[in-house]
Every structure is written in structure tokens, then in C-alpha cells.
């Protein structure tokens, strides 16, 4: 099953250490370039990775 997500669920699941749940439930997760930028690029700039692709 595929899923589409914005940045908020990714950020909050990451904060509570539950990103793995998405991988367990969905075979493919689709995020927009804007969400990617918010989660990955801004996370790097803040000195932490909120999501590891």
C-alpha cells in the first residue's frame, strides 16, 4: 500500500522514535518536495536529522 504524507506526521513520529511504523505499514511513502525540504534540509540546518530517507 502507498501513502502520501506531509511533514508534520514525519516530524512527530520521528520525535517519539516511531518512524519505523510507517515502513511496517506502507511499502511506499510519498512526500512532496516541500515536505522533504522541511523535514530533511531544515533538520540538517538545525544540526539534527528528523527523518532518514
Beta bridge partners, 5, equal: 31
Query: How many CB atoms within 10 Å of residue 51?
Result: 19
Name the average pLDDT for the chain.
81
Domain boundaries, the chain: 2-45
Predicted pLDDT at 16:
85
pLDDT at 53: 47
Instruction: Give 46's pLDDT tier (boundaries 50, 70, 90).
Output: low
Quick: pLDDT tens for 16-40. Answer: 888 889 989 999 999 999 888 888 7
For cell 506526521, what's the residue? 9
Grid cell digits, residue 14: 520521528
- pLDDT > 60? residue 43: yes
Percent of the chain with pLDDT strictly greater than 90? 30
Amino acid at each position: 500500500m502507498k501513502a502520501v504524507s506531509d511533514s508534520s506526521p514525519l516530524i512527530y513520529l520521528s520525535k517519539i522514535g516511531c518512524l519505523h511504523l510507517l515502513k511496517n505499514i506502507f511499502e511506499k511513502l510519498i512526500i512532496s518536495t516541500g515536505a522533504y525540504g522541511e523535514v530533511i534540509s531544515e533538520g540538517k540546518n538545525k544540526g539534527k536529522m528528523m527523518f532518514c530517507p
